[in-house]
Structure 1
Amino acid sequence: MSRVFATFFFIGYLKPASGTWGSLAALPFIWALHELGRIFLPFELGGPLLLSVALVLTFFGGLKATRLMTAGGDDHDPSEIVIDEVVGQGIAILPVSIGAAGVGADVLALYPGWIVGFLAFRLFDIWKPWLIGRADRRGDALGVMLDDVIAGVFAAFVVLIAAGVSHAIVMV
């Protein structure tokens, strides 16, 4: 089961660029969680709340699955492990989920935020500047998960900045 989870239902075995495939596969998962929260939780921010809870649970499940998959091996971050990309991509899209819920819009109507979040997350995940690189260099399962969490946070800031710029342009 840890292999199924860590590879996000074997998406991690797609080549080339398994991390990009994992990030792409995360998008429908993120959308579904937002919609389920919106439908089943009886308050305005139900979508982002369910998404946030799922991301926290996925982080800890991914941490455990990554530990199990890398135990005793030489490679601390095999390319087929993409559950970290799922978490990071979810964090990058979280501002879009919050924004859609806050204004009562369809989350897919904010598609520019999805595009910016995807591209910014992939950029930070591949480039690994500053704290992202430090987390990656830990050489353990926590580093595998943490570098993508930080990349997701950086990408979420880019999404917020892009939305601010976009809204400022529209207001002019």
Structure 2
Amino acid sequence: MQACLATWFGVGHLRPAPGTWASALAVLLGVILHRLGHFPALALATGAAVALGLWAISGWTAGMADKDRSEIVIDEIAGQWLALCFPSAGFWLMGLPADRFPYPGWVAAFVFFRLFDIWKPWLVGRADRRTDAAGVMLDDLWAGLFAGVATMIAAGISHGVMG
């Protein structure tokens, strides 16, 4: 069960770029969660992915030298959902109906998340250098946080300049 969750039901075995495949799937699932239950559903799912990810990664990689294996992608799911929480919360707070999740919000969250996850600036890189299961999750959570903030800044600039 831990391997199944850690690889997000086999998505981590897709090649090339399993992290990008997982992030794309996370966007699709995140938009569905938003439409089903708006921001609260996405936030709850994100929290569950973090908790399950820590459990699955630490259990499955126990005794392995490499804790950050390329097929582990539940961290991308959690980080991408965290990035999506930012525009989702914005739409929820604005009172938009749940069936509205305009594409610039989720596209920007995806692009910024992949950028920060690959580039690994500052705290993302520091967490990535950890050799434990928490570090595997933490670098993607930092990337998700940075991506969410960048998404909201981009939205503010876009709406301030073009709206």
TM-score over 0.5 for the alignment?
yes
One-letter amino acid matched to 2:109? G
1:170 deviates by 2.5
The 1-side partners of 2:151 and 2:95 are apart by 17
The 2-side partners of 1:95 and 1:71 are apart by 33
Alignment of 1:51-130 (within 5 A): 51-101=42-92, 102-105=94-97, 106-108=99-101, 110-130=102-122
Deviations, residues 13-60 of structure 1 (Å, cap 9, x unaligned): 0011110011011112112221221xxxxxxxxx11121111111101
> Is it true that 1:135 corresponds to 2:145 in the alignment?
no
Kindly indicate whether the alpha-carbon contact (under 8 Å) linking 1:7 and 1:80 is maintained by their aligned counterparts in 2. yes
The match for 1:10 is 10
The match for 1:31 is 31
RMSD: 1.2
Count of aligned residue pairs for this structure pair: 161
1:94 deviates by 1.1
| Percent identity for Structure 1 against Structure 2 | 50
The match for 1:144 is 136
Deviations, residues 62-86 of structure 1 (Å, cap 9, x unaligned): 0110012211111110000100000
Kindly indicate whether the alpha-carbon contact (under 8 Å) linking 1:97 and 1:107 is maintained by their aligned counterparts in 2. no
Deviations, residues 89-111 of structure 1 (Å, cap 9, x unaligned): 01111122122222415433x21
Gaps of 5+ in 1: 38-46
The 2-side partners of 1:107 and 1:6 are apart by 31
The 1-side partners of 2:67 and 2:5 are apart by 17
SS of the counterpart of 2:160? helix
**TM value normalised by structure 1:** 0.89
Kindly indicate whether the alpha-carbon contact (under 8 Å) linking 1:125 and 1:148 is maintained by their aligned counterparts in 2. yes
